[in-house]
Structure 1
C-alpha cells in the first residue's frame, strides 16, 4: 500500500502581499499527478489545510475541487486539523464524507478511532490527532497538566490502548498523524508559534512504538527518526524557506510495517532569492543574475540609505518584495539623536535637513537642499505678506 504524506497546505495564504492561489493550484495539479503516476492509495494531510479559520469562498472551492480530483485519481484522503484551521468548520459533515473516501479527524473524541486500511493479511490503523491547544483540551483528555507534552501524551495513550485491543484480533500496523512541534525539528519564519520559550516542543520518545508518525506544522521537510518525519509545506511561505525542497513523502507499507519512505518533489513556481550587498553590487554584479526573475528579499548595506532604493532595485529585480537597510559594520555611531539635531540647528533649513537625515539615515542632497530652501523662502514670503 502506498500513502502520500503531506501537510501545511495553507490554502488562501498570501506571500508578502502577493496572492498564491495560482501557485497553490499548481501544487495541487502536481499532487494529483503524483497520485496517478505512483498509484497512491491514500493521501494524508497532517493539518493546516487552510491558512485561517474562516477561509474565503474561492479557497474552500479550491479545496473541495482538490478532494474530488484526488478521489477521481484513485486515492482515499485522511486529514486532520492544524492550529490555523477551525476544527469544527473543517470537520463539518465528516460522517457523510467518510462514505465517499474522505476521512476527517478534527475532534478529540475521534482521535483513537482509526481509519482501517487493508494490507496483505494485516490492517494498517491510521489515527489522526488534531492540533491540541493545551488550555482547551487538557481537561477533556484528562491530561496531567495543560502543556503540549501532557496533552500529546494523553492522546497517544488513548491510541495505544486502542491498538492493544485491535491486536488481540490480528496483526495491526500503526500510523499516527499529528500537528505539533516535536523536539529536534527546525523551524521557519512562516510558522505560527505554538508556545512561548520553546515549551511547546514535545519529546520525540512520545512516538515510540508506532510504525510511522506523519507530522505537520513545521514547513521544512525533515526526518527526526526513521519513523517520525515532517513532510513540510508544499510551497515556501517565508524567505527563510528559500533553500527548502518542497513536496511530500511517499510511504510504502506491507504487513510487516513501513518498508519505504521516498521524498517527492514538486515545482514551486517562481523561486525565492535572499540578496545582500551595496547598491552598486546589487545592480551591477552578474552573480545576482539568477535572481532577476525571483521573488526577492534584499538587504542594502551602503553606509547611507540610497536614494529611491526600491525603485532602482526593481528595475533589475522586478519582484522585490522585502527591502531592508543594514549598513555594513552596523549603524553609524557619529549620528546625533533627533533632539540633538534640533538643539544644534542654526536655522529652519537645518531643522528640515536634520529631519530628513533622521528618518532616512541619509543626508539631504544638493537638489533636496535647494528645494527645501525654495519652499522655506515661499513660506516666509507668505508670512510677511499676511
Structure 2
C-alpha cells in the first residue's frame, strides 16, 4: 500500500513587492520553512515518497544560494522526493534545474524528472508517469501519452503533472497548459498529483491539486495544505486527506462603517487577530472625528501584532459633527479649512487621500490642544 505526501507550487524565491521590506523578507522566508515542515511531516508519517508537482522555484533566475537552501530544506526526509518542473521553472535547455545539478546541490534522495517518461520504484510498489513542462507554456496536453504508457504489473500508476484540467479551473490560473478532464480514468492511473492551482481542489476521486503549502494570495481556496495519499492497490480508489501545513493566514476584509456599532464590531475583530495574520483591509463609509481617532488607535495596535497590515481608506470619509467642531473650537479660519478639507474628500483622486489625512492630523492636533487647555 504506497503512501505519499503530495505538494506543489512552493514558488521558492518569490518576491513580495507590495509589502513593506520587513514583511516581504519574512513572507519569502516562510516558503523555505514550509518545505522544512513538509520534510518533517513526511518523516513522521513514514511515507514512501513526496510528490512535488511543479513550480518548485518561482523563477529561473533565483540565486545559487536560494537553490542550495531549497535542497537543504529537504534534509528532514531522506526521500525519495520526486519533483517535476512547472511553468515557473520549466526544464529548459539551461534552467534552474541544470544549475542545481552543476552546483552539486541535489541530494541523492531527490529525483528530478526533467523529461517525460516512466520512473519505476518497484521496491516501493509504484511507478510515476511524469509530464514535466519543458517550456513555460504549451497548448498541447503533455499527459496524453499516459493513456498508452506501460508499467509493470502490480505497481500502482501515479501521474505527476502541472497544468489546467480543462473545464474545471477559473480563467485566471497561472498558465494555460491543458490537461484533459478524465485523464486519470483514461490512463488507468491510481492517482494523478497536480500542480498549478494554488488551492486544494479534488477534481475527481483520483485527481487532486494540492495547492501551495504556504498561502501567498488573499483567496479562500484551501491553500496552505499538503495532501496525504494512500493507494490501497492497483485499480483501487485512493484515500485522500488534505493536511494543514501553512504558517500565515492571508485574509481580506471589505468593511463599511456607517454607525458606531460597525466600528465596535471591526475593533473587536481586529483584537482577535493573531500574529500570523496577513490582513488586507478596505474601508468605506464615514466616521466622526472621535471614531476616526479610535480606528487609528486600533489599526496601530494590530499593525504591531499582525505579520502584515495593509489598509485602503479611499472609500472612508471623516465627517466632523457639530459636536466635534465645538469640542475642537474650530471656528473662524480653522473652521473654514476643515470645511474645505471635507469637500476635497469627494475629489476621488490622490487629493482626496491627502485631504483625509490632513483632516485627521488637524483634528488630532486640535484635540490635543483642547485637552491641554
Q: Same fold (TM over 0.5)?
A: yes
SS of 1:268's equivalent? coil
CA shift in 2, pair 1:21/1:222, >3 Å = same
How far does residue 90 in structure 1 lie from its aligned partner after superposition?
3.6
| Cα distance in 2 for residues equivalent to 1:233 and 1:310 | 34
Q: How many equivalent pairs are there?
A: 316
Distance 2:90 2:360 in 1: 57
Q: Is the 8 A contact 2:54 2:196 kept in 1?
A: yes
1:43–1:77 Cα contact (<8 Å) kept: yes
Aligned to 1:85: 89
Q: Which one of 120, 124, 127 corresponds to residue 126 of structure 2?
A: 124
Distance in 1 separating the partners of 2:239 and 2:249: 26
> Structure 1: 5+ residue runs without aligned partners?
138-146, 329-348, 372-386
Distance in 2 separating the partners of 1:76 and 1:310: 52
- Selected match of 2:301 from 307, 311, 316: 316
**Counterpart in the other structure of 1:284:** 264
1:84-163 equivalences in 2 (<5 Å): 84-88=88-92, 89-92=95-98, 100-106=108-114, 110-112=115-117, 114-118=118-122, 124-131=126-133, 133=135, 147=139, 151-152=140-141, 155-163=142-150
Given that residues 292 and 316 in structure 1 are in contact (C-alpha distance below 8 angstroms), is that contact kept between their aligned partners in structure 2?
no
Alpha carbons of structure 1 residues 11 and 156: separation in structure 2 relative to 1, 3 Å = closer
The TM-score with structure 2 as length reference comes to: 0.70
Counterpart in the other structure of 2:38: 31
Question: CA contact under 8 A between 1:82 and 1:131: conserved in structure 2?
Answer: yes
Equivalent position SS for 1:34: helix
CA contact (8 A) 1:283 1:316 kept: no
* Contact 2:198-2:211 at 8 Å conserved across structures: yes
The answer to whether residue 228 in structure 2 is matched with residue 212 in structure 1 is no
- 2:87 is equivalent to residue 76 of structure 1: no
**Where does the alignment leave 5 or more consecutive residues of structure 2 unmatched?**
317-337, 366-373
> For the residues of structure 2 that align with 1:45 and 1:33, how far apart are their CA atoms?
15
Residue in 1 aligned with 2:214?
235
Any conservation in 2 of the 1:186–1:220 contact (CA below 8 Å)? no
**C-alpha displacement of 1:157:** 3.8
Aligned 8 A contact 1:185 1:218 in 2: no
Q: Which of residues 151, 174, 178 in structure 2 aligns to 1:193?
A: 174
Report if aligned partners of 1:273, 1:296 keep a CA contact under 8 Å in 2: yes
Structure 1 distance, partners of 2:7, 2:33, is 15
Q: Which of the numbers 282, 296, 301 marks the counterpart of 2:279?
A: 296
Post-superposition shift, 1:28? 2.4
Aligned to 2:321: none
CA shift in 2, pair 1:258/1:27, >3 Å = farther
> C-alpha separation between the residues in 1 aligned to 2:301 and 2:195?
37
User: Which whole-Å CA distance do the structure 2 matches of 1:366 and 1:91 have between them?
Assistant: 53
User: What secondary structure, in the 3-state scheme, does the structure 1 residue paired with 2:38 have?
Assistant: helix
Q: Deviations over 1:220-271 (max 9, x none)?
A: 1111000100011101111114x63522112223542455333242342243
The match for 2:250 is: 272
Instruction: Determine helix, strand or coil for the equivalent of 1:232.
Output: coil
Distance (whole Å) between structure 2 residues aligned to residue 9 and residue 28 of structure 1:
8
C-alpha displacement at 1:216, in angstroms? 0.0
Change (3 A) 1:127 1:99: farther
SS in 1 for 2:238: strand
Find the residue that maps to 1:215 and give its secondary structure: strand
